[in-house]
Amino acid sequence: MYRNAMVTTDGSDIASAALPHIIQIVEPTGTVTVVEVIDEIGRVLARTTPAGFDLAGMGALDADIATQIVASQRQEAEQHLAAARATLEAAGLKNVVTVVLEG
């Protein structure tokens, strides 16, 4: 049995399918860290802004939209992590740490 493990999630069924395996291989007193990665604002802006386009009057609007997108992703990630935590704790794991990373 392992003392520590890290598992990633995105809330999908495939990601959730890893949890029963984590339950089987981690000691009940071990630590499981569950991580979900969301976009950072710069990445959202880079994907939504055409190259070479001058955002002079629209920059604030685009930054606000990017901020809302990242906030929405964070909220969803926290829900996914809470569900994973509940599953792991219900199985008897006592030390479950959840982390949202941007990048």
Query: What integer pLDDT is reported at residue 54 of this predicted model?
Result: 54
Mean pLDDT of 75-99: 97
CB 25 within 8 A of CB 5: yes
CB 103 within 8 A of CB 41: no
Token pair in block for residue 101: 């990373």
What's the pTM? 0.84
pLDDT digits (tens, 9 = 90+) for 32-74: 999 999 999 888 877 765 555 555 555 555 788 889 999 999 9
Task: Give the up-direction half-sphere exposure of residue 10: CA atoms within 13 A in the CB hemisphere.
Answer: 5
Which has the higher per-residue pLDDT, 96 or 62? Answer: 96
pLDDT digits (tens, 9 = 90+) for 75-86: 999 999 999 999
pLDDT digits (tens, 9 = 90+) for 13-32: 999 999 999 999 999 999 99
